[in-house]
């Protein structure tokens, strides 16, 4: 029998079991990404400071620095850079921070679902909505509950900016809002419905009896707007700018439709509202002012995270919201 050469046998054995260098580094990097190091890294990114992050994590700054160095060594890249205005992630750090936040989000979703199951529910869906959908959203929620009665639905109503921030932070699963921002790699968006904005005031307002109101007539009156509604403020300002008029005086900002209506009933203030709330305004003792044209038109979108695996509850909620949009178009 012909014997194999020992060196060849060792070479064959080595070639069959040893990973390629690149794959070996990849596996070593994965092994080094434990949750403690990731949490510490995210804390530094969010605090923009080793000192503040160490205080938040209740660890010493040298220990935190050592952890970040260990993470950088295991990944073989520089993750953070100290700058004049604080600590900033490198391009490698930005990638890791984005994905690490998704990991934390998935863990939070898992914990939430477990707690929900223990309480007799089969999942939780967190939905954020623009004010324009106050009258429409309940139909989608009730349809969702009929499909899955054991799913808890939590709803918050706000303007675009805080809804987007909550969606990106993982506090919301779905946002129904105007979308006027650059595309985000982590977000999926799809059109839901369109609506117009109208002007409302009290019945005794000096402009209420006019046949047709022009922008110049509105300059003399103060306005009530929604807090943090930067998009709405920009739209209102653009209407006046297009007519070569100074921007209106937004004297009061509120976060509640009810407070807005109450303030309007007792003053000569003016407010711009989605036409979907015109009936609410009229029922609340207000009138729609006869402006020369629709004040502005807005498209609402569904927005949700692209990277997260949707739960059955979230998928069902999206289907109910899409049906809501289809009804609005017919």
Give 107-140 pLDDT, tens digit per residue. 666 666 666 566 545 678 899 999 999 999 999 9
The residue with greater pLDDT, 26 or 238, is 238
Cα dist. 142→138, 169, 294 in Å? 6, 26, 32
Tell me, yes or no, whether 159 lies in a domain.
yes
Coil, helix or strand for 235?
A: helix
| pLDDT at res. 116 | 58
pLDDT-based confidence at residue 328 (cuts at 50, 70, 90): low
Quote the pLDDT of residue 20: 45
Residue 156 lies inside a defined structural domain of this protein: yes
Indicate whether 9 belongs to any domain.
no
Assigned domain for 264 exists: yes
In which domain, by residue range, is 258 found?
195-297
Could you tell me which residues come within 8 angstroms of residue 63 by beta carbon, excluding any fewer than 6 positions away?
54
Answer whether residue 182 shows pLDDT above 70.
no
CATH of the domain at 166: 3.40.190.10
Residues 185, 106, single domain; the answer is: yes
Please compute the mean of the pLDDT values over residues 201-209 and round it to a whole number: 93
Examine the domain organization and report whether 113 and 82 are in the same domain. Answer: no
Domain count, the chain: 3
* Whether the predicted pLDDT of 145 surpasses 70: yes
Q: Are residues 80 and 201 in the same domain?
A: no
Residues 199 and 293 in one domain: yes
Least confident of 10-24, 154-168, 242-256, 286-300: 10-24
- Tell me how far apart the alpha carbons of residues 263 and 270 are, in angstroms, rounded to a whole number: 10
Kindly compute the dihedral angle of the four CA atoms of residues 102, 107, 112, 113, in this order, to the nearest 10 degrees: 100
| Contact (Cβ atoms closer than 8 angstroms) between residue 129 and residue 160 | no
Same domain (yes/no): 310, 281? no
Residue 3 lies in a domain: no
Is residue 4 in some structural domain?
no
**Does one domain contain both 307 and 174?**
yes
Residue 285 lies in a domain: yes
Q: Are residues 33 and 172 in the same domain?
A: no
**Same structural domain, 144 and 276:** no
**Percent of the chain predicted with pLDDT > 90:** 32
Q: Is the pLDDT of residue 209 over 60?
A: yes
Percent of the chain scoring above 70 in pLDDT: 80
**pLDDT confidence bin for 286, thresholds 50/70/90:** very high
User: Is residue 138 in some structural domain?
Assistant: yes
Residues 304 and 175 in one domain: yes
CATH number at residue 81: 1.10.10.10
pLDDT at 156: 93
Residues near 258 by Cβ (< 8 Å), separated by ≥ 6?
A: none
The span from the CA of 226 to the CA of 223, in Å, is 10
Q: Are 145 and 123 in contact (CB under 8 A)?
A: no
Interval 224-265: pLDDT, tens: 998 877 777 788 888 888 889 988 888 899 989 999 999 999
> What is the pLDDT, as a whole number, of residue 12?
44
Residues 118 and 161 in one domain: yes
pTM: 0.64
The reply to whether 163 and 36 lie within a common domain is: no
**Are residues 145 and 279 both part of a single domain?**
no
Enumerate the H helices of the chain as residue ranges.
6-17, 21-32, 35-47, 50-57, 61-75, 91-118, 137-147, 160-169, 215-218, 230-242, 257-265, 278-283, 312-329
């Amino acid at each position: 029998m012909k014997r194999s050469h020992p060196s060849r046998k060792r070479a064959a054995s080595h070639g069959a079991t040893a990973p390629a260098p690149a794959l070996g580094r990849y596996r070593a990097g994965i092994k080094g990404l434990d949750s403690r190091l990731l949490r510490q890294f995210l804390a530094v990114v969010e605090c923009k400071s080793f000192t503040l992050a160490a205080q938040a994590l209740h660890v010493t700054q040298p220990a935190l620095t050592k952890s970040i160095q260990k993470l950088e060594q295991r990944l073989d890249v520089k993750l953070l850079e100290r700058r004049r205005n604080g600590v900033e992630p490198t391009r490698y750090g930005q990638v890791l921070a984005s994905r690490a936040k998704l990991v934390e989000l998935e863990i939070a979703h898992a914990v939430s679902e477990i707690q929900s199951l223990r309480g007799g529910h089969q999942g939780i869906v967190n939905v954020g909505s623009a004010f324009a959908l106050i009258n429409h959203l309940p139909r989608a929620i009730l349809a969702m509950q009929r499909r899955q009665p054991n799913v808890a639905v939590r709803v918050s109503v706000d303007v675009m900016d805080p809804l987007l921030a909550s969606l990106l932070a993982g506090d919301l699963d779905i946002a129904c809002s105007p979308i006027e921002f650059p595309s985000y790699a982590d977000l999926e968006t799809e059109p839901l419905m369109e609506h117009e904005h109208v002007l409302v005031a009290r019945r005794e307002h000096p402009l209420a009896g006019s046949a047709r109101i022009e922008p110049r007539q509105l300059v003399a009156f103060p306005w009530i707007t929604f807090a943090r509604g930067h998009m709405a403020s920009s739209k209102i300002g653009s209407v006046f700018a297009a007519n070569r008029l100074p921007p209106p005086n937004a004297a009061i900002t509120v976060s509640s439709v009810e407070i807005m209506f109450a303030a309007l009933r007792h003053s000569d203030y003016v407010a711009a509202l989605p036409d979907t709330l015109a009936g609410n305004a009229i029922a609340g003792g207000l009138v729609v002012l006869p402006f020369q044209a629709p004040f502005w038109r807005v498209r609402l979108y569904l927005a949700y995270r692209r990277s997260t695996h949707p739960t059955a509850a979230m998928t069902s909620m999206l289907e109910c919201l899409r049906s809501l949009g289809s009804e609005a178009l017919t």
